[in-house]
């Protein structure tokens, strides 16, 4: 089950399409869907989590708390819509594309992808792009 929750005024569009897409990503990576909660919030909310749980005193666009057990993908993915909007401007891409990128980014962490090194970040970006194309294909 994939659910969408809000700590700000943002509301996701195309809920059913995005649920189908994320589930296809998980299955494509040879995992099963458990429960994923997306929580959309502002910079202050996500900054507080970043400081409290990760000891990082920085702004970020996404934080994933992974509760995956075995092959069953589960977790909470917090997304700052403010940071996504700023990043979309910086990267000169539409807000929706950047939002979808961070949504799949969190799930890819649950599937074992890392992004600490340059090589890992490149592999993560390639998979993000691959799955963004899948979303376009099913839209």
* 70 Ramachandran zone, left/alpha/beta (phi>0; psi -120 to 50): left
pTM (2 decimals)? 0.94
Strands 32-41 and 72-80: parallel
Contact call for residues 61 and 99 (beta carbons, < 8 A): no
Tokens representing 99 are 């939002």
Percent of the chain with pLDDT over 70: 100
- pLDDT for residue 97: 96
On whether 57 is known to bind a ligand per the annotation, the reply is no
Per-residue model confidence as pLDDT tens digits over 19-36: 999 999 999 999 999 999
CB 61 within 8 A of CB 84: yes
Q: How far is CA 133 from CA 12, 14, 66, 104, 130, in A?
A: 19, 16, 25, 12, 5
Q: Give residue-wise pLDDT tens across range 97-136.
A: 999 999 999 999 999 999 999 999 999 999 999 999 999 9
135 vs 37: CA distance, rounded Å? 19
The topology (CATH level 3) of 2-138 is Collagenase (Catalytic Domain) (3.40.390)
Report whether 47 belongs to an annotated binding site. no
Do 34 and 72 contact (CB within 8 A), yes or no?
Answer: yes
Q: Is 105 annotated to bind ligand? A: yes
74 in Cβ contact with 36 (< 8 Å): yes
The domains of the chain are located at 2-138
Cβ-based neighbours of 8, under 8 Å, separated by 6 or more: 40, 41, 42, 45, 81
């Amino acid at each position: 089950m994939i659910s969408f929750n809000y700590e700000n005024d943002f509301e996701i569009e195309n809920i059913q399409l995005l649920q189908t897409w994320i589930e296809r990503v998980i299955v494509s990576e040879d995992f099963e869907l458990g429960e994923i909660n997306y929580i959309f919030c502002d910079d202050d909310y996500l900054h507080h989590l970043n400081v409290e749980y990760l000891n990082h005193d920085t702004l970020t666009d996404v934080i994933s708390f992974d509760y995956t057990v075995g092959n069953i993908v589960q977790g909470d993915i917090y997304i700052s819509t403010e940071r996504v909007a700023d990043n979309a401007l910086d990267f000169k891409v539409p807000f929706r594309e950047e939002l979808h990128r961070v949504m799949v980014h969190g799930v890819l962490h649950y599937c074992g992808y890392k992004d600490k090194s340059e090589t890992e970040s490149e592999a993560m970006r390639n998979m993000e792009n691959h799955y963004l194309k899948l979303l376009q294909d099913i839209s």
